Amino acid sequence: MPQLNGGGGDDLGANDEMIPFKDEGEQEEKISENVSAERDLDDVKSSLVNESENNSSSSDSEAERRPQPTRQDLENYEKAREYFSEALRRQQDGGFFKSPHYPGYPFLMIPDLSNPYLSSGSLSTGARTYLQMKWPLLDVPGSAGLKDSRASTPGHLSNKVPVVQHPHHMHPLTPLITYSNEHFSPGTPPPHLSPEIDPKTGIPRTPHPSELSPYYPLSPGAVGQIPHPLGWLVPQQGQPMYSIPPGGFRHPYPALAMNASMSSLVSSRFSPHMVSHHPHSLHQTGIPHPAIVSPAIKQEPNQGHLSPSMHSKSPAPVKKEEEKKPHVKKPLNAFMLYMKEMRAKVVAECTLKESAAINQILGRRWHSLTREEQAKYYELARKERQLHSQLYPGWSARDNYGKRKKRKREKQQPDGESEDQFSSRNKKPCTQYMPPDKMCDSPASSHGSMLDSPATPSVALASPAAPAATHSEQAQPLSLTTKPEGRAHHPHFSLSSKPQGPSPSSALSLSIGSPGSQSPHILSRPIPFSSLQHAMLTPPTSFHQAALHSHHALLQSQPLSLVTKSAD
């Protein structure tokens, strides 16, 4: 579990203030990080200048394709450097910046220099745009380097940065808030900030595909188009993939998001105007905002097509307007944030890759978090909603509501099939989605798997920071790992059933633990519901009574974790 800011989270409301380091060692570490970041910027500048100088004579085709840095580019660099100096100075003063966006979370974001999308104006495709400069108070899990076995440095020392996610999978706010530190750790300078210089050309060489981080999901064809690491300073020319929109896109101030004093700028930058007036998610400044998924770049399936219903009801201009309207996604809720952060960890620990299975695991782990742990995510989610509403004042979840389903309906229901018919036809039985040989984290792995065995047995169902209305079970002394919001209809036996419907193969998983145990579960392997169905559906049987008895007994002494899926 990452420790956010010492685990306190109480200073979330603070804004751009200095946070004392926990100890001198930490401070030194952070300072050295920034020193090296600053040094890296110098390197970058050198390479920039070198490139500029060599460009005319270089025979390197890559270099030829690249435009020469302009005065503006260099100015931008200087500004960025200025910021780094300031950051460094403040660190040396004994603190570090908080994010202007999430002031409670001390990390700096710098533009991802190696992000091909950054220089392209196609940020809205979802490329992670900013690099996390540091997240000093988070413990960095060993998975940092897990995804890149080619790393020359150990995972915990490497600076793998999850800069780019799959474009269509990035959360709008991800560039502003990096929730996960999984792939980032302090220490060595980021590769993209200290680009390897090609001895021939004197310019940073394009990384070999095998050296590319797996977080750069570039297609083989795209690899050759990887832009200059200083893409934000050196826009690519003649590259349709990263084409610069009319008006040009030169990132004017990459360090913008880092600078506390610029938070006002940031807010103006990400004003809603860009939403309505910049179909390509470009602000007046020319900065595309990744929070917006421009339909021109990323379209939800069929979004661009006119539905029959729309055809009949909406006049063309409205449709056109709607088409152009960028798709602003919902802010992530606490669990989504948790998933985002923990997914890689779970994937690394298990052999699982299927998200559905991973999500089941994460769901269980979420329930096993302590109240304090969950509170962090609720608070983050709250902040995110807050930020989202600031960025998009006029936005409502309604904007996206029904879009997907409507599209689905339009596609699958052209003949006017009734809604009920459609629904029933498309419902799938609720089954345990877990490959049998991959039960890495069933509540039962329990045989000591660390995955689902929180140090603190589930005490908390909800966070104090969570909306009270949705977490009425806070006061319960024991965790039944039921869903909040009263989704579990059996408070004592916690047979929560999903409305999805019948399934003969639903499973019941039971986990019972003892306080303080690292692997507290006595029985937590999912039990095929078919084997329990009878017992469950009939009035108190021996099983039922035994279970209830166990539960009541445990109520007195032991925490109980019970996750069920029922078949009704």
Partner DNA sequence: ATGCCTTTGAAGCGT
Partner DNA sequence: ACGCTTCAAAGGCAT
Residue 416's φ and ψ, nearest 5 degrees, are 75, 25
Binding residue for DNA (CB under 7 A) from 212, 230, 339, 444?
339
d(CA 151, CA 158): 7
Cβ neighbors of 556 (< 8 A, separation 6 or more) are: none
| Contacting range for DNA; rule: CB under 7 A; set: 187-195, 249-257, 323-331, 548-556 | 323-331
Binding mask 465-504 for DNA (x = CB under 7 A): -xx--xx-----------xxxx-----------xxx----
Over the window 376 to 415, marking each residue x when it contacts DNA by CB under 7 A and - when it does not, the resulting string is: --x--x---x----------xxx-xxxxxxxxx--x----
Supply the DSSP string of 32-83, one letter for each residue: HHHHHHHHHHHHHHHHHHHHHHHHTT---HHHHHSPPPPHHHHHHHHHHHHH
Smallest distance from DNA to CB 260, Å: 26
Comparing CB distances to DNA, the nearer of 407 and 544 is: 407
HEC string of 382-410? HHHHHHHHHHCCCCCHHHCCCHHHHHHHH
Binding part of the chain for DNA, among 6-14, 204-212, 366-374, 549-557 by CB under 7 A, reads: 366-374
Q: Name the pairing type of β-strands 292-293 and 130-134.
A: unpaired
d(CA 493, CA 495): 6
Q: How far is the CB of 349 from DNA (least distance, A)?
A: 15
Report the nearest approach of DNA to the CB of residue 239 (Å).
21
Q: Which of 130, 242, 270, 366 binds DNA (CB under 7 A)?
A: 366
Which of residues 194, 213, 271, 360 is near DNA by CB under 7 A? 360
* 126 neighbors 298 (Cβ within 8 angstroms): yes
| Binding residues with DNA: total (CB under 7 A) | 69
3-state SS, 371-386, equals HHHHHHHHHHHHHHHH
With CB under 7 A as the contact rule, the residue among 79, 319, 343, 490 that binds DNA is: 343
- What is the rounded distance in angstroms from the CA atom of residue 441 to the CA atom of residue 461? 19
3-class secondary structure per residue, 206-240:
CCCHHHCCCCCCCCHHHHCCCCCCCCCCCCCCCCH
Site for DNA in 414-443 (CB under 7 A): 423, 426-428, 430-433
Residue number with CB closer to DNA (467 or 516): 467
CB of 182 to DNA, least distance (A): 12
Give min distance, CB of 564 to DNA, in A: 10
Binding segment for DNA (CB under 7 A), chosen from 58-66, 185-193, 309-317, 334-342, is 334-342
Tokens representing 283 are 């602000």
Residue numbers 140-199 binding DNA by CB under 7 A: 165-166, 169-172
Q: How far is the CB of 362 from DNA (least distance, A)?
A: 7
Q: Which is nearer to DNA, 68 or 456 (CB)?
A: 456
CB of 363 to DNA, least distance (A): 3
Question: Binding residue for DNA (CB under 7 A) from 14, 356, 546, 555?
Answer: 356
Nearer to DNA, 45 or 101 (CB): 101
409 phi and psi angles, rounded to 5 deg: -65, -45
Smallest separation, CB 163 to DNA (Å) = 12
Interface pick for DNA out of 110, 275, 332, 478 (rule CB under 7 A): 332
**Distance (Å, whole) CA 175 – CA 193:** 18
Among candidate residues 521, 460, 461, 523, the one with its CA nearest the CA of residue 487: 461
End-to-end Cα separation, the chain, in angstroms? 35
Assess 308 for contact with DNA (CB under 7 A): no
Contact call for residues 37 and 103 (beta carbons, < 8 A): no
* CA distance linking residue 505 with residue 517, whole number of Å: 31
CB atoms within 10 A of CB 459: 17
CB 280 within 8 A of CB 121: yes
Residues that bind DNA (CB under 7 A): 165-166, 169-172, 300-302, 327, 329-330, 332-336, 339-340, 343, 353-356, 358-360, 362-363, 366-367, 374, 378, 381, 385, 396-398, 400-408, 411, 423, 426-428, 430-433, 462, 466-467, 470-471, 483-486, 498-500, 565
